[in-house]
Amino acid sequence: MTDTTPLWTSDALEAATGGTLSGAPTPITGASIDTRTLQPGDLFFAIRGEARDGHDFVAAALARGAGAAVVAEDRAQDFAGVGPVLAVPGTGEDPVLGAMRALGAAARARTDASIVAVTGSVGKTGTKEALRHVLSAQGATHASIASYNNHWGVPLTLARMPAETRFGVFEIGMNHPGEIVPLTAMVQPDIALVTTVEPVHIEHFASLSAIADAKGEIFSGLKVGGTAIINRDNPNYPRLLAHAQASRAGRVISFGEHPEADVRARRIVLRPDLSVVDAVVMGIPVTYQLGTPGRHTAMNSLGVMAVVHALGADLARAALSLAALRPPVGRGERTALAVGEGEAFLVDESYNANPASIRAALATLAGIETGPRGRRIAVLGDMLELGPEGEAHHRDLAGPVEAAKVDLVFTAGPLMRNLFEALPVSRRGAAAATSADLLEPVLSALRPGDAVMVKGSNSIRMGRIVEALKARYANAQAEPPHAAAR
């Protein structure tokens, strides 16, 4: 954090965690679990990860300016004389992670902020960022960074929340049933939003309905009288509605293009670099420009407007703010590339993938105008955690590729080869086992006028292709292409 106001006093730290401070901590202005991103004044939590024990990095954290380090009581003696430490008791489960949860709970208890929790199979990070963007213009706003949405990301985000926060926005994710319940219980949202339900992490669930039930867990943490916000267009709307009605919610707000949606899009105009949404928000006509393109982001913006209304914030200011919204890195970021004597256009969708998000990315690619002799190129990596139907889910992307009029497809991974082989020969670029093997085929294929979109699951590391394209074809002065004629 850049603010030098102490986030936690020594007394508050000991009271919240049951720990004992030794040494003289410097003012605590933030919280961290990673020495690579730690800032001076951060409280360093030495949690145990899957591969490493945070206690191995305590000395480095303190050397880099951590205000203090939170360590397990039985390890405290290891750091005598190294710097200030907060020794926390506990056995069994990681006591440092337990202390971070306790501090997060204390942060939630001490604030009068209006808290929003966001989940969904697709679009939760983009929606969280949109909410951060529009609410920051109306009051002190605290939100998850990146995709800090799991068992350590949520309590860490809570522990970082200043007491004077007006709006808090928390992303909540899951891979298995039951994971959302403890997270939403920590956050205790005033408003809980589900963007949509799609076959993501389906290998851990018996059916799509089971995924809907898992997403519906977010309503269990709502404060009494809170607001549940649900996508009215999703086929699982009735199931999500049942979860909301069984919770402590005082009201339910729906959004979408459905004629009965409370926040309804009357018309969406899609452009390659923006969208225009003509909506009715709880009976109030609102037309706004959205700085991030794509139908999926336009639909999620309706959920954002539903949250703004539920908070009692200024709808008009929120609508104006959305025009300046830009996609996060890896989630639709656009870059013009200098290729030969002309330009090509890169759409970076490399942060994760599932059938719904790839379909959305292909639809966005379809709206981009190519230059003379330019082509639409999709570079796609495996989608993971799709269970026994994984091969079919990849093969079924042939239809959306055709509908998007994609000219050339490059694939990375054994699952995505099913798509490659389902395509006509004229659309096949190259298929490779890994993203590293695909680098040169993609780089050498690019020519002026092309529009290329890159997407795949995180572990396939499609981001390396994005970085390689930017490095070889850097063009800081280039502007995105104009809208395609429609």
In this structure, whether the domain defined by 333-472 belongs to CATH 3.90.190.20 is answered with yes
Mean pLDDT of 102-126: 95
* Chain segment 48-67, per-residue pLDDT in tens: 988 889 999 999 999 999 99
On the question of pLDDT at 174 being above 80, the answer is yes
104-118, 231-245, 273-287, 359-373, range with the lowest pLDDT: 359-373
- pLDDT at residue 290, rounded to an integer: 93
Residue 405 and residue 420: Cα distance in Å, rounded?
15
Domain boundaries, given as residue ranges, for the chain: 10-99, 111-322, 333-472
373: left (phi over 0), alpha (psi -120 to 50) or beta: left
- pLDDT at residue 304, rounded to an integer: 98
Length of the chain: 486
Mean pLDDT of 264-270: 95
Residue 93 and residue 325: Cα distance in Å, rounded?
41
- pLDDT at residue 481, rounded to an integer: 42
Structure tokens at 94: 């990681």
- pLDDT at residue 135, rounded to an integer: 98
* Chain segment 437-474, per-residue pLDDT in tens: 999 999 999 999 999 999 998 889 999 999 999 999 97
Q: Which of the pair, 156 or 296, is modelled with greater confidence?
A: 156
Residue 11 and residue 20: Cα distance in Å, rounded?
10
- pLDDT at residue 176, rounded to an integer: 87
27-41, 195-209, 246-260, 393-407, range with the lowest pLDDT: 195-209
Residue 209 and residue 425: Cα distance in Å, rounded?
37
* Chain segment 323-361, per-residue pLDDT in tens: 998 887 778 888 889 998 899 999 999 988 889 889 989
Looking at the domain 10-99, which fold is it?
3.40.1390
- Cα–Cα distances (Å) from 189 to 31, 113, 220, 227, in that order, read 21, 10, 10, 9
Residue 5 pLDDT class (50, 70, 90 cuts): confident
* Chain segment 352-370, per-residue pLDDT in tens: 888 988 998 998 899 888 9
Q: Which of 446, 416, 273 is nearest to 353 (CA)?
A: 416
CA 340 vs. chain centroid, Å, equals: 35
Rounded mean pLDDT of the chain? Answer: 92
DSSP assignment, residue 483? B
- pLDDT at residue 93, rounded to an integer: 80
User: In the sheet where 376-381 sits, what is the strand order?
Assistant: 333-339, 342-349, 451-455, 376-381, 408-412, 428-432
Give backbone dihedrals phi and psi of 397, rounded to 5 degrees, phi first. Answer: -75, -10
CATH class of the 111-322 domain in this structure: alpha beta
Residue 462 and residue 349: Cα distance in Å, rounded?
9
- pLDDT at residue 172, rounded to an integer: 96
